[in-house]
Chain A
Amino acid sequence: MALGLPVARPQAAPSASERQARRRRRVWSYTTLTALAVFFLFPLVFMFVSSLKPDGQILTDVTSLRAFLPVGDISLDNYAGVFDRVPVGRFLFNSVLVTVLTVGLGLILNSMAGFALSRLRWRGRHLALALVIATLIVPFETIAVPMVYWVSHLPTLVWEDGLLKYDFGWLNTYQVQIIPFIANAFSIFLFTQYFSTIPKSLDEAARIDGAGWFTIYRKIVAPLAGPAFATVAIVTFLPAWNQYLWPLMVVQQEELRPVMVGMQYFFQLDPAWGEVMAYTSLITLPVLIVFLSFQRAFVSSVAASGVKG
C-alpha cells in the first residue's frame, strides 16, 4: 500500500446503474478489440485465400468480401507454379539450416559466455562485460556495408580436388550467413543476468566434489536455466529466419540463398500475384505454426526481453 490507504473497506454491492455502465464498457471493449483483430488479420487472410485463386480472380475479387473467402476457382495450382519456377525447396532447406545453426550454436556459446561473466572470477571480466553492453546499441545496419568488405577479405578453407586449400573471401558460403550472427550481445546479457540469480553455493559444493567449471556449467547451471534458454532461442529465431539485407549482399549464388531473398524472383513490375501469394504463404506458415504452438513462451520471452533490456 504505497499510498498509505486502508486495505479493505467494505464495498457496497454495485447498484443497477453501475452494473449497466460496466456492461456498456464491456460491449465497447469487445467491439474495439474485434475491429482491431480484423485490422491486424485482414492482409494475412487475404494472402492465404488469394494463394488458392487464379490471378484474374484475385483482381476481380478485391471489389467485394469475396477477397477474404476461399470461393470460386480454388486450387493449389499457384503452389505447383512456385515449385516449378523457383527452387523453393532449396531455399527452405537453406533457411532451416542457417536458422538452426545460428540459434543452436548461439545458445551454446552465448550461455558459456554468460556463465563465465556471471560466475567466474577472471582478469578482464568487467572490461568484457562493458564491451558486451556497449555493443548492444550498435544496430546491424550501421556495420552492414563495412562488414561486406571485411568478410570478402577473410581467410577461409576450401576443399578443392581432394585437397584442403587456403583462400580468401567468405562471399557465397553458408558460413557467412551463420558465423557472424552466433555471438549476440543481447543473448550474452540475458544469460549473464539469469545465471547470476542461481545460488553460487551450488558451484562451491560441486567444486568440493571435484567438478571442473565446464561440468558445473553443463550439469548444474544450464539445466536450471531453462527459461533463459527458451527466451534466447525465441528472440534469435525470428531474425535468423527473416534475414534479408545481409544475404542479399553476400550471397549471389542461387543454391545458397535463403527464403526471403529467394522472393526476389517475384519483384518484377508485373508479378504473377497468385504465385507471389503462394510463395509468401509457404514461407510464413512454418513461422506461424511455431508461433501458435509456443505462443505462451513467445509472449513471456518478449516481455522478459523488455523488462531486462
Chain B
Amino acid sequence: MALPALTLLVLFLVIPALLAFGLSFTNARLISPNPPRFVGLDNFVRAFTADPVFLRSTLNTFVFAGVVVPVQAGLGLALAVLVNQKIRGVTAFRVIFFVPVVTSIVVVSILWRFLYQDDGLINSFIDTVTFGAWHGMAWLNDPSTALGAIIVLSIWQAVGFHMLIWLSGLQTIPEELYEAARMDGASPWQQFAHVTWPGLRSTMVFVLVTITIAALGLFVQIDVMTQGGPVNSTSTLVYHAVRKGYREQETGYGATISLIFFVIVLVIALIQRYLTREED
C-alpha cells in the first residue's frame, strides 16, 4: 500500500536529486541533439572563478537569510506573545496577522512593487509624515535599497506563519509555572526569560530551520520584482540557477549551482540542529 506514494517519491524527488548530482559534472543542455558529455569539475571551477554573478548571488542569498532569519523569528515570537494574552478579540488579531501568509507570494510581490514605486504609496506616506522634508525614491531601482525593500515585504508576508508556530509552543507551557513565578514576585520580563524561553527550545529549532531553508530559496520576489537587478544587487542562488539552467538552457551548469545551493542548505541545517541540540 505504500508502493504508489513511495514510487512517486523516488521518481520525482530521489532521482532528480541524484540527477542534480550527476548532471553537474556534464555539459548537458535542455534541448540538444548531442548527449551530455562528462566535463569533470569544469562547472564548479567556472562558478567559483569565472562567474562573478554566481558569487554575487551567493553573497545576496546570505545577506537576505542573515537578516530575515533573526528578524522574522524574533518578530514572530513577539507577535505570538502579544496574541497569547487572554484578552477579548485576540483570535481576530491572530487571523489578521495570518492573512498575508495565505496570500500568494506572487500577488504580494506585484502589489509591493507598486507600493515601492517612486510615486507609490510608501513614498507618499514618507512624504506626508516628514511634511515633505524627505522625498521618496524608487526603492527597487537603487542597488543600495532593492534587497532591503525585498527583505521587508518577505518578512511582512511570512511572519504570521511563524507567529502561529511560536504560539503553539507557548501554549504547551503550563499556566501553573507562570503562577508560581508570579508568586515569587517575577516581573513579566523575568517570567519570559525564566519560564517562557526555556520552554520554547524545540519550537525554536523548528522555526529557525524552516525560516533558514525558505530564506535561502528566495526566488519569486526576485523574479516578479527585479529580475535580479539593478546590477545583480538582488540576484540569488536559486534565481541564478534558474537563469542559467532553464532560461539559458545550460542544464549542466544550472544543476551545479543547484547542487552548491543544496550543500549550503544541508550544512546550515545540520549546524543549527547541532547547536540547538547540544544542551539536551
Q: Is B140 an interface residue (CB 8 A)?
A: no
- Output the least CB separation between A185 and chain B (Å): 6
**B23 contact set on A, CB distance < 8 A:** 146, 149
Q: Is there contact, CB below 8 Å, between B82 and A29?
A: yes
Q: Is there contact, CB below 8 Å, between A135 and B14?
A: yes
- Select A150's contact among B16, B120, B172, beta carbons within 8 Å: B16
**A148 contact set on B, CB distance < 8 A:** 30, 245-246, 251
Known: A29-B82, A41-B96, A135-B14. A149 touches B1 (CB 8 A): no
Q: Is B191 an interface residue (CB 8 A)?
A: no
Stretch from B43-51, B52-60, B62-70, B162-170 at the A interface: B162-170
Q: Report Cα–Cα, A213/B207, bound state, in Å.
A: 38
Q: Which residue of A lies closest to B95 (CB)?
A: A295
**A292 contact set on B, CB distance < 8 A:** 95
- Output the least CB separation between A105 and chain B (Å): 9
- Select A245's contact among B210, B242, B262, beta carbons within 8 Å: B242
Q: Is there contact, CB below 8 Å, between A145 and B99?
A: no
Q: Is there contact, CB below 8 Å, between B119 and A242?
A: no
Q: Is there contact, CB below 8 Å, between B251 and A137?
A: no
- Select B87's contact among A29, A149, A309, beta carbons within 8 Å: A29
- Select B111's contact among A47, A59, A140, A306, beta carbons within 8 Å: A47
Interface residues of B in 224-280 (CB under 8 A from A): 224, 238, 241-242, 245-246, 251, 254-255, 257-259, 261-262, 265-266, 269
Known: A238-B102, A303-B168. A280 touches B17 (CB 8 A): no
Q: Report Cα–Cα, A218/B6, bound state, in Å.
A: 19
Known: A62-B119, A142-B20. A302 touches B5 (CB 8 A): no
Interface residues on B, range: 35 or more
Q: Is there contact, CB below 8 Å, between A9 and B6?
A: no
- Output the least CB separation between B39 and chain A (Å): 16
Q: Which residue of B lies closest to A122 (CB)?
A: B2
- Output the least CB separation between A280 and chain B (Å): 5
Q: Is A2 an interface residue (CB 8 A)?
A: yes
Q: Is there contact, CB below 8 Å, between B251 and A145?
A: yes
Q: Is A44 an interface residue (CB 8 A)?
A: yes
Q: Report Cα–Cα, A174/B50, bound state, in Å.
A: 39
Q: Is A206 an interface residue (CB 8 A)?
A: no
Q: Is B208 an interface residue (CB 8 A)?
A: no
Q: Which residue of A lies closest to B79 (CB)?
A: A36
**B210 contact set on A, CB distance < 8 A:** 309
Stretch from A71-79, A175-183, A196-204 at the B interface: A175-183
- Residue count of chain A within 8 Å CB distance of chain B: 91
Q: Is there contact, CB below 8 Å, between B164 and A303?
A: yes
Q: Report Cα–Cα, A63/B121, bound state, in Å.
A: 7
**A287 contact set on B, CB distance < 8 A:** 102-104
Q: Report Cα–Cα, A213/B206, bound state, in Å.
A: 35
Q: Report Cα–Cα, A150/B20, bound state, in Å.
A: 10
Q: Is B105 an interface residue (CB 8 A)?
A: yes
Binding site for B on A (CB under 8 A): 1-3, 5, 7, 9, 26, 29-30, 32-33, 36-37, 39-41, 43-44, 46-47, 59, 62-63, 67, 109-110, 112-113, 115-117, 120, 128, 131-132, 135, 137-150, 152, 179-183, 185, 188, 213-214, 217, 238, 241-242, 244-245, 248-249, 260, 263, 266-267, 273, 276-277, 280, 283-284, 287-288, 291-292, 295, 298-299, 302-304, 306-307, 309
Show 23 residue pairs from A and B whose CB-CB distance is below 8 angstroms, ordered by the A residue: A1-B176, A7-B176, A29-B87, A33-B93, A36-B79, A43-B115, A59-B119, A112-B5, A135-B9, A135-B13, A139-B262, A145-B245, A150-B16, A180-B8, A180-B11, A260-B104, A263-B110, A277-B111, A298-B102, A302-B164, A303-B165, A307-B168, A309-B210
Binding site for A on B (CB under 8 A): 1-2, 4-17, 19-20, 23, 28, 30-31, 79, 82-83, 85, 87, 90, 93-100, 102-108, 110-112, 114-115, 119-121, 124, 127-128, 156, 160-161, 164-165, 167-169, 172, 174, 176-177, 180-181, 183-184, 203, 206-207, 210, 213, 216-217, 219-220, 223-224, 238, 241-242, 245-246, 251, 254-255, 257-259, 261-262, 265-266, 269
Question: Would you list the 9 A-B pairs with minimal beta carbon distance, nearest first?
Answer: A303-B168, A145-B245, A183-B8, A116-B2, A113-B5, A306-B165, A180-B12, A142-B262, A143-B16
